[in-house]
Amino acid sequence: MGVSPFIFNIDDFDQKRSLDEMRSGCSNGAMTITQSRQSSSALSGWRLTWILIVAVAVFSTVAATTVGGASGANLGIRITARASAVLFLLAFTASSLYQLWPTDTTRWIRRNRRYLGVAFAGSHVVHAFFIIATIVLNTPRFDAGVERTPHGVYVIDFIAYAFVIAMTVTSFDRIAKRMQYPVWHRLHLTGSYVIWFAFFIAYWRRGVTYTEFYGPFLIIVLAALVVRFIAKAKRYSNRGRGGTS
């Protein structure tokens, strides 16, 4: 089944210009690009998606089972949350990273952003299962009001999950073609920032108390937004110079 670009990382990057750059690169160094594609083909596309999802599911399940009980389920939540954050932020910043630092690595990230985005969605499905397991195993604590997560956080998380589902479903050509492009574009653009905000809230709340564990991820989440804004400002600056020349 064909898939349209997965826009967890939508940032108004000029895709036609990207294609022109790739074509230019082929004409200037076809052999090098061909070798690079061959070397990375084993870890690209849908194979990459499934490898990542299976790896996250297996590793988190083994770790959670080894610990056992509610503590194991909590460990599974932490593992999948971090894995999901990394996958999402790679897709979220893919075009911006390539625009600011055009290397083979950032080119690979941009080329596989849709697959990284789908892998993020798969990782977050596993994350949801661990959340359910934690609630079931910790039912007395929840009933007693020991778990004092603010209700607003739950609302943000539910909205973010709704966007994850909607963005994943509408990434398939069969669905996307039935939508008007402005609607599809707004869905993915809005959803990407809602999901980013959910990660920010999660790591900000915990980063204040457990800085050594959650602080680094909070910095990474904030850095991703800064990268996008810098890339966007650079694009507007380039367009302005082009219009006045």
pLDDT digits (tens, 9 = 90+) for 48-102: 999 999 999 999 999 999 999 999 999 999 999 999 999 999 999 999 999 999 9
Rounded (5°) CA angle 18-101-226: 100
- Report the percentage of the chain scoring pLDDT > 90: 55
Residue type, 204: W
Q: What distances in angstroms separate CA 218 from CA 36, 110, 205, 207, 209, one per listed residue?
A: 33, 23, 10, 7, 12
DSSP structural state of residue 101: S
> In this structure, are residues 198 and 8 in contact, taking their beta carbons and an 8 Å threshold?
no
Predicted pLDDT of residue 22:
37
On the question of pLDDT at 37 being above 60, the answer is no
| Cα-only R_g, the chain | 20
Q: How far does CA 164 lie from the centroid of its chain?
A: 10
Tokens standing for residue 214: 């959650």
> In this structure, are residues 75 and 66 in contact, taking their beta carbons and an 8 Å threshold?
no
pLDDT digits (tens, 9 = 90+) for 195-222: 999 999 999 988 777 778 888 899 999 9
Spell out the residues 6+ positions from residue 53 whose beta carbon is closer than 8 angstroms to its own. 119, 122, 123, 126
3 DSSP β-pair partners: 172
> In this structure, are residues 164 and 195 in contact, taking their beta carbons and an 8 Å threshold?
yes
Spell out the residues 6+ positions from residue 11 whose beta carbon is closer than 8 angstroms to its own. 95, 96, 228, 231, 232
Dist CA 223 CA 243 (whole Å)? 30
Q: pTM to 2 decimals?
A: 0.79
Closest C-alpha among 55, 41, 99 to residue 232 = 99
Helix 211-244 / helix 69-100 crossing angle, nearest 10 deg: 20
